[in-house]
């Protein structure tokens, strides 16, 4: 068996979707503390430490604990922390950073990775993923930090002293902002039957609320909290949704919707059980905006995938 060097365990590398690591190997309390302190140092360098930071977490093993570890560090560095009472999808944290005009948000998640992974997504101004120049700078800062030297305030003390504030109804503005963009009357008239598979993740509540508001008939599967994600990766891909496609056909649903573990990826299955890829969904959206909304102009998308 290959040996893992201590230097590899201490090294923090951010990818396109944040930092992800194996729980107990590189995803440890020490490294979560180091990254949190690194973000605080980055904020100090950019003179952006005067606004609150919002912290969310998904349903993975240790996610809620890790969110508290992050809060302890931020509070010790003078930040006011806005904290979730329940697991939250990544798009909600992104929305709150943008809507509240914050500088930083943190989501504890490993997104669609296997169950033995966890990680951290850093969200910056306007609700964006931290750009590469920011994460590279953060990596350099974290490399010089030792966890035992990082100041922390126990989470319960932070709450008692008002340093941590539990967000009240954080989903409301998020859901309302989505509903405002939808033609719910048209959806009601369609009388849709939908099968929703959140893959044991944190995206259940907002989409269920939206679908019910639009008077869809919704059946829900794989919605309970399960840190093992039912023994499979929480990735809504064609390979992982074979049984879901069969369920859509057998139940004669108009539509099947599946989310990944933190609710920022989706898979769609049509009434014939056909899996629609993310690129195909984008094409459908472009067509709708062009032909039905009359939008004109250039289209911008990332190139993280082909």
Q: Report the pLDDT value the prediction gives residue 4, as an integer from 0 to 100.
A: 38
Whose tokens are 């082909």? That residue is 306
CA–CA gap between residue 60 and residue 43 (Å, rounded): 27
Q: Report the pLDDT value the prediction gives residue 277, as an integer from 0 to 100.
A: 86
Q: Which segments in the chain show pLDDT lower than 50?
A: 1-6
- Domains in the chain (CATH in brackets) are 6-172 (3.40.120.10), 180-291 (3.40.120.10)
Burial 173-199 (b: 16+ CB within 10 A, else e): ebbeebeeeeeeeebeeeebbbbbbbb
Q: Report the pLDDT value the prediction gives residue 139, as an integer from 0 to 100.
A: 97
CA–CA gap between residue 101 and residue 160 (Å, rounded): 26
Specify burial of residue 201 (Cβ count, 10 A radius: 0-12, 13-18, 19+).
buried
Three-state SS at 298: coil
Q: Report the pLDDT value the prediction gives residue 278, as an integer from 0 to 100.
A: 83
Q: Are strands 164-166 and 81-83 parallel, antiparallel or unpaired?
A: parallel
Q: Report the pLDDT value the prediction gives residue 5, as an integer from 0 to 100.
A: 46
pTM of the model: 0.92
């Amino acid at each position: 068996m290959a040996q893992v060097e201590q230097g590899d365990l201490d090294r923090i590398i951010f990818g396109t979707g944040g930092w992800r690591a194996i729980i107990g190997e590189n995803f440890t309390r020490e490294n979560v503390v180091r990254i949190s302190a690194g973000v605080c140092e980055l904020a100090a360098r950019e003179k952006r430490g005067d606004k609150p930071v919002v912290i969310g977490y998904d349903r993975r093993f240790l996610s809620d604990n890790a969110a508290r570890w992050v809060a302890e560090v931020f509070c010790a560095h003078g930040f006011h922390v806005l904290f979730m009472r329940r697991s939250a999808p990544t798009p909600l944290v992104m929305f709150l950073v943008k809507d509240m005009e914050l500088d930083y948000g943190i989501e504890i998640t490993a997104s669609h990775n296997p169950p033995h992974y966890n990680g951290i997504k850093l969200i910056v101004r306007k609700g964006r993923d931290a750009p590469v120049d920011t994460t590279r700078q953060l990596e350099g800062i974290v490399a010089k930090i030792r966890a035992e030297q990082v100041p922390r305030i126990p989470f319960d003390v932070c709450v008692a002293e008002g340093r941590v504030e539990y967000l009240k109804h954080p989903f409301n503005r998020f859901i309302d902002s989505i509903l405002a963009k939808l033609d719910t009357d048209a959806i009601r008239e369609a009388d849709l039957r939908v099968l929703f598979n959140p893959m044991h993740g944190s995206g259940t509540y907002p989409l269920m609320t939206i679908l019910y508001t639009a008077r869809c008939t919704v059946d829900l599967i794989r919605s309970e909290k399960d840190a093992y994600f039912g023994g499979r990766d929480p990735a809504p891909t064609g390979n992982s949704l074979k049984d879901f496609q069969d369920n859509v056909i057998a139940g004669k649903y108009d539509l099947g919707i599946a989310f990944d573990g933190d609710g920022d990826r989706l898979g769609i299955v049509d009434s014939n059980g056909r899996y629609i890829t993310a690129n195909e969904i984008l094409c459908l959206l472009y067509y709708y905006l062009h032909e039905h909304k009359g939008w004109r102009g250039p289209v911008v998308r990332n190139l993280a995938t082909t």
